[in-house]
Structure 1
Amino acid sequence: MKVLAFAASNSENSINHKLADYTANLIPDADVELLNINDFEMPIYSIQREVQLGKPKQAQDFYDKITEADALIISFAEHNGSYTAAYKNLFDWTSRIDMKVYQDKPVLMLATSPGPGGASSVLGSAVGSATYFAADVKGSLSVPNFFDNFDIVTNQVVSVEIKAALLAMVSKLK
């Protein structure tokens, strides 16, 4: 199984990147590709830019990465209760190629933050809109208080409950 995992964040030290990577590697015998959305940076989307530029190669490359995957794991960072500007822009450009961005792939949607909210607002938005973009959401999980629940030295979830929830979710991808 080829699993595409990424954080919907452009932070160089993204805790969501760590969570997506950790979760993807819980899948036995998976071929995991971990993306960095910084590799797909484009001008801010507008219809005028689309008319002027067409569809940027980066958007097509991102769409192609999804096409090649059997399953997706996305961990959403939250900025002011919503998507990061970097991910929203990448998503907007990619949706102009095909509104079915997720291409009916099985998807696990995660979110985390340093605080008690665990980026649950953005996760709720992502899960709520997923069917419009052809995501087959197999599970979602908000991880609050990241630094209390994840050991960044060993790159391991330390909460027994969270680890059990993640293992249950990844089992639904088979």
Structure 2
Amino acid sequence: MKILAVAGSNSDTSINRQLVTYATTLFENAEVEIVDMNDFEMPIYKHQREVESGIPQQAEDFASKIDSADVLLVALSEHNGTYSSAFKNVFDWTSRIKPRAVWNEVPMLLMATAPGARGGLGVLEAAAKRFPLHGGNIVDTFTLPFFNDNFDKAAQKISNEEKDSELREKIQKISAIETILEK
């Protein structure tokens, strides 16, 4: 099974990257690639720019990574209740590649974390509504509130046993779906 892990942040210290990286360790016998949004930095999407210059190679590369994955783990950082601008720009450019849908129906576990009580719930809700319109096959969602209290940075894992168990159940669910699809 090939897992593509996307942290929807360009921060070098992204807590969502830490979460999605940890989630990848919960799969058995998987090939994992963790995407760094900094590798997909492009001009801000503008229709006129697309007409004049076409779609940047970075968007094509991002789409290729999605297409080669069996499972997507997407952990989104929340900026003012929605996606980070770095993620949104990659999403916008990728959505312009025809005739594809951005997520190409690859089974996805959608996640978010934040330092506060909502744990990125705003961005999770926005993505859960938007992604299916772009080929998002969201199998489940997971949010980790109070990241600094519920994630052991030294051990690089969720320290809250209840939330860790919840994530493990969701990983098992998406693993089972992928196993069925392989047959």
TM-score, normalised by the number of residues in structure 1? 0.97
User: Residue 22 of structure 1 aligns with which residue?
Assistant: 22
Q: Does 1:119 align with 2:107?
A: no
User: Residue 164 of structure 1 aligns with which residue?
Assistant: 165
How many residues in Structure 1 have an aligned counterpart in Structure 2? 174
Once residues 135 and 27 of structure 1 are traced to their aligned partners in structure 2, the CA distance between those partners, rounded to angstroms, is: 21
Once residues 50 and 56 of structure 2 are traced to their aligned partners in structure 1, the CA distance between those partners, rounded to angstroms, is: 8
Deviation of the 1:56 alpha carbon: 0.4
**Residues 121-157 of structure 1, C-alpha deviations (whole Å, 9 max, x = no match):** 0000101122111111111011100011000011011
What does residue range 58-77 of structure 1 map to in structure 2 within 5 Å? 58-77=58-77
Structure 2 unaligned blocks of 5 or more: 176-183
Once residues 20 and 94 of structure 2 are traced to their aligned partners in structure 1, the CA distance between those partners, rounded to angstroms, is: 21
Larger deviation, residues 97-106 vs 35-44: 97-106
Aligned residue for 1:173, secondary structure, equals: helix
* Aligned amino acid, residue 76 of structure 2: F
TM-score, normalised by the number of residues in structure 2? 0.93
Once residues 82 and 174 of structure 2 are traced to their aligned partners in structure 1, the CA distance between those partners, rounded to angstroms, is: 26
* Aligned amino acid, residue 28 of structure 1: E
What does residue range 40-59 of structure 1 map to in structure 2 within 5 Å? 40-59=40-59
Deviation of the 1:36 alpha carbon: 0.2
Aligned residue for 2:109, secondary structure, equals: strand
CA RMSD, 1 decimal = 0.9
Once residues 117 and 53 of structure 1 are traced to their aligned partners in structure 2, the CA distance between those partners, rounded to angstroms, is: 40
User: Residue 9 of structure 1 aligns with which residue?
Assistant: 9
* Aligned amino acid, residue 125 of structure 2: G
**Residues 59-102 of structure 1, C-alpha deviations (whole Å, 9 max, x = no match):** 00000000010010010100011110000000000000145111
